A and B are shown apart, each in its own frame.
Chain A
Amino acid sequence: MPADALPRPLTLIAELSYRCPLRCPYCSNPVAIGAPAYRDELDTADWTRVFGEAARLGVLQLALTGGEPMLRRDLPQLCAAARDAGLYASLITAGTLFDEERANELRGAGLDHVQISIQSADPDDNDRIAGNRSFHKKIAAARLATRLGFPLTINCVLHRHNLDRVEQVLELALALGAQRLELANTQYYGWAVVNQAALMPTRDQLERAEQAVIRFREQVGPRLEILWVLPDYYENLPKPCMGGWGQTAIVIAPNGDALPCQAASTIGDLPLDNVTAHPLEWIWSESEAFRRFRGTDWMREPCASCPLDRQHEDFGGCRCQALRLTGDAAATDPVCRFSPDHDRLLRARDAAAAEDVSGPPPGTDEFVYRSMRTPAAPVH
């Protein structure tokens, strides 16, 4: 198959609602979640049709996410629709609404897998970072998920306020009987951009945490799969963001807008087509949003003649990050050491490393918590 033939998507990320009881300061949802454009949510029939269209397009994995997907009263019907379409359905939840009755309903409807987020293994830290008293409900939800026979993933977003206690997260995931643990270092999209100065870890913190992960993996073996994703700021070559633009994944926002990644709405001039106006197959193959940065034809230098010949490996990295750091979404991702803008990344990294993180954790006033009110534009 030629490298630039139209790929087929494997994953559909269904953001069912941007409503959420938690207020995490690194939420990947757009900062404008309170805007009128996001208040509309697709109805059950729309989602059911979209799941069928996705399966016919080649999608195998469905993530039911948000916001908090448990806020959708029709979640059992959506799980049943996913099962009918032949999709493997994962629920990505904060866990606070995952009670016995609703969990049983979802199990019966064919939900395959449950992923529960924790903000820290320490109850007070968890609640401070989440901006909501939620730790004990999350733990109860995780125990319930395994008791009902769901495979369980624990997810913890890492940053300077919890990286030093990553061992406790590893121990907790094991004690809860999780099959997978996603340790996702904060990527700076959505609300994390607003809170970047409060979240950026130091190189030392990351190295110590990584060593802890390696030791734990050796101890525990394959019964707990641990995913450890280094933040882009400490890399010198870009990641294939979303597996490449328009290569493997489709994100659908609550209102039905289809995007190549969760952050693509930050590219202001990217026209977004909606699943209520077009079939998913047309959106995937024909829409401007999915075609603009697909493959390699759009690339400029230094990507076009990449000295490492990585164009089909990293697809030029992250478009949203390129836009944010250079003002141009078509520029090479500044994570790349060949990017003329790589020094912007180095400066942000050095600023974080210069700060002292050995003192007591700062108060909650350091975070701008996620809310339906759009904060003032961040300075960067």
Chain B
Amino acid sequence: MTRPRLVTGARLHYDKVRSEHVLLVPEGIVRLNPSAVAVLELCDGERELDEIVSDLSERYPGADVSADVRGLVDAMSEKGLVVDAG
């Protein structure tokens, strides 16, 4: 995975009725916790995965985010929700 992006047609949405973040995909809804949102917002197909990790490390100093970010991106890509923009 070099430059992760959301799969075509997926969009992040804040569900005001249930007060939670979701990823809307064709005929599907994926509930997201706040840290997943922070990662997926940076998966724009421009940033490299390493950049995403360092951005988030700066934002959350003291936390070792690398394993969490890579784990999330891998899991989302196995479900076809995140793809590599190359």
Contacts and interface: CB of A to CB of B under 8 A. Distances in A.
Contact of B26 (A56, A57, A180): A180
A225 B80 contact: yes
Interface stretch (A146-154, A159-167, A272-280): A146-154
A58 B18 contact: yes
Interface centre among A10, A88, A180 (most CB of B within 10 A): A88
Contact of A222 (B13, B15, B24, B78): B78
Contact of B80 (A60, A86, A149, A222): A222
Given A8-B17, A112-B9, A90 B79 contact: no
Contacts of B80: 179, 222-223, 225
Interface string B6-32: 011111010101100010111111000
Contacts of B27: 61, 63, 90, 113, 115, 153, 180
A8 B9 contact: no
B74 to A, nearest CB: 11
Contacts of B25: 151
B7 A58 contact: no
B43 to A, nearest CB: 16
Given A222-B77, A222-B80, A61 B24 contact: yes
Contacts of B24: 60-61, 88, 112
A223 B78 CA distance: 9
B7 A10 contact: no
B26 A151 contact: yes
B22 to A, nearest CB: 7
Given A112-B9, A113-B9, A90 B17 contact: no
Nearest to B10: A151
A272 to B, nearest CB: 25
Contact of A88 (B13, B17, B18, B79): B13
Contact of B7 (A56, A149, A150, A151): A151
A61 B9 contact: no
Contacts of B79: 222
Interface in A136-162: 149-151, 153
Contacts of A151: 7-10, 25-26
Interface in A220-243: 222-223, 225
Contacts of A223: 80, 83
B17 A56 contact: yes
Nearest to A146: B8
Nearest to B18: A58
21 contacts: A8-B17, A8-B18, A57-B17, A58-B17, A60-B13, A60-B15, A60-B24, A86-B13, A88-B11, A88-B24, A90-B26, A112-B26, A113-B9, A113-B27, A115-B26, A149-B8, A150-B8, A151-B7, A151-B9, A151-B10, A151-B25
Given A10-B29, A55-B17, A222-B77, 12 more contacts: A56-B17, A61-B24, A88-B24, A90-B27, A113-B9, A115-B26, A151-B10, A153-B27, A179-B26, A222-B79, A222-B80, A223-B83
6 nearest A-B pairs in the assembled complex, by CB-CB distance: A151-B9, A222-B80, A88-B24, A58-B17, A113-B26, A151-B8
Interface of A: 8, 10, 55-58, 60-61, 63, 86, 88, 90, 112-113, 115, 149-151, 153, 179-180, 222-223, 225
